[in-house]
Amino acid sequence: MRKVSILAATMLLAFTGSALAADKCPIDARQSKAVGESTGRKVQKSFEAYQAGNIDEAISVLLEASPKGDFDVAYVARMLGNFYAEKGQMDKSIKYLKTAVDADVLGGVDHASTLRLYADLLLQEKKYKEAISYYRKWMDFSCKTDATVYRRIAIAYTELKQWEDALKTVNEGIKLSDKPDKGLYQLKFQALFSMKKYKEAVGVLEVMVPLFPEDKRLWVQLAQLYLLIEDYDKALDTYEIAYQGEFLESADNFVRLSQLLGSKGNPHRGAVLLEKNIKAGVVPKDEKNFSILAGLYHQAKDLTQAAAAYGQAAELAKSGGGKLYLKQGRLLSLDQKYSAAVGVLEKALEAGIDNPGEAQFELALAYLNLKNYKSAYKYAQLASNDSKTAKTAKSYMSYIKDKAKLHNVSI
């Protein structure tokens, strides 16, 4: 909260806000009074020091005063509270302002302004319950309502995690606002989200996007909320708008958009978009993102690009990348690049995988297609020792023998 200017806070003579209908309002019934002669001289001298830019002297003069009577005490306390607020000494400011407001004897305008400043400082100092109380007292005394005050009360309720009260207060503030108040809508969204009323929270963001078009983050928030409520079509559409408008900033959002494109039938575009942003350095070059890229290219049936991406993921893997090399090797074999597959599958075995037989069996198939029957038989035999691949590997061993015999190769 910005600091309150001393000229606005100390000598405030008017207020903003829409008046509530009331025949007799406390602020109007409270007449202004003058301080006693002795106190008045101190007040005048203090104010002159303040006008000359010497706030410390202004405070010192008031501290030397010996006000008599409740009114004089409250008046001096009010001035000291405002001066200390301007100096940023909030503990002292709150102490003196409390004296002034609790005395409840200042003139109507002075008492109202002091109530509001006191509430503002309580909020700033995270005294939320007290702040709410004094904001309410300000409204009752001044017979005024103000969207800004409702926003501040809602902030206090939000900090207290009293979501129902925050939501009710926000709605009152929105009704009072002459123009859309982003802060109020953000608090409404926060309250609904915290209450797990996600569809209603989405509705708030849908209202906010056209009201505050300059806030690019709202598009991303809306897309994320659509994902949360599993409305994937709207999530994709909104992410697309955010991407075209250059509203996406974080790597996670580029990755989500790419994955959504894949899940909604356009994996190739998702892969191209993700790869572009990896190369640009927007998305980190790490195992996770290269694995996602590989999956998208695989889904798009682009085996060459998918295999290359799995290879990059494997090279960056902290665990050695055995499983990723295995995936790369399988795709290379599927793409009939058997020689390349052999080298990659050997890397998978070197890096280590839970079931070595999987890589050994793939090696057997690759060598079989390369007509290297001795190596094919060797790896089929090794794969037969792994429970996961034993049955299939044993059935291939006899087939490899027959192929070798047909080509006059001794195993």
Q: How many residues in total does the chain contain?
A: 411
Same domain, 30 and 160: no
In a domain, 325, yes or no: no
Same domain, 195 and 60: no
What is d(CA 45, CA 55) in angstroms, rounded to the nearest whole number?
A: 12
Same domain, 119 and 169: no
CA 203 to chain centre: 18
In a domain, 371, yes or no: no
In total, how many domains does the chain have?
2
Same domain, 45 and 131: yes
Q: Which residue's structure tokens are 């007799």?
A: 24
Q: Answer yes or no: are the C-beta atoms of 171 and 188 closer than 8 Å.
A: yes
In a domain, 73, yes or no: yes
Q: What is the CA radius of gyration of the chain?
A: 37
In a domain, 24, yes or no: yes
Same domain, 22 and 109: yes
Same domain, 130 and 9: yes
Same domain, 67 and 183: no
Helices 251-263 and 267-279 cross at an angle (nearest 10°) of 160
In a domain, 115, yes or no: yes
In a domain, 80, yes or no: yes
Could you tell me the CATH number of the domain that includes residue 50?
Answer: 1.25.40.10
In a domain, 171, yes or no: yes
Same domain, 163 and 138: no
**Domain containing 199: what range?**
146-225
What pLDDT does residue 17 have?
38
- Domain end call among 166, 197, 225: 225
Q: Answer yes or no: are the C-beta atoms of 283 and 246 closer than 8 Å.
A: no
**Structure token digits, residue 355:** 């079931």
What pLDDT does residue 23 have?
60
- Sign for the CA dihedral angle at 294, 295, 301, 303 comes to positive
- Domain end call among 94, 113, 145: 145
Identify the three-state secondary structure at position 144.
Answer: strand
3-state helix, strand, coil in the chain (%, to 5): 75, 0, 25
Dihedral over alpha carbons 283, 287, 288, 294 (to 10 degrees): 90
What pLDDT does residue 411 have?
83
Q: pLDDT (tens digit, 0 to 9) for every residue of the chain, 411 residues total?
A: 334 443 333 333 332 333 333 468 999 999 888 999 999 999 999 999 999 999 999 999 999 999 999 999 999 999 999 999 999 999 999 999 999 999 999 999 999 999 999 999 999 999 999 999 999 999 999 999 999 999 999 999 999 999 999 999 999 999 999 999 999 999 999 999 999 999 999 999 999 999 999 899 999 999 999 999 999 999 999 999 999 999 998 999 999 999 999 999 999 999 999 999 999 999 999 999 999 999 999 999 999 999 999 999 999 999 889 999 999 999 999 999 999 999 999 999 999 999 999 999 999 999 999 999 999 999 999 999 999 999 999 999 999 999 999 999 888
What pLDDT does residue 20 have?
38
pTM of the model: 0.80
Q: Which residue's structure tokens are 């044993």?
A: 394
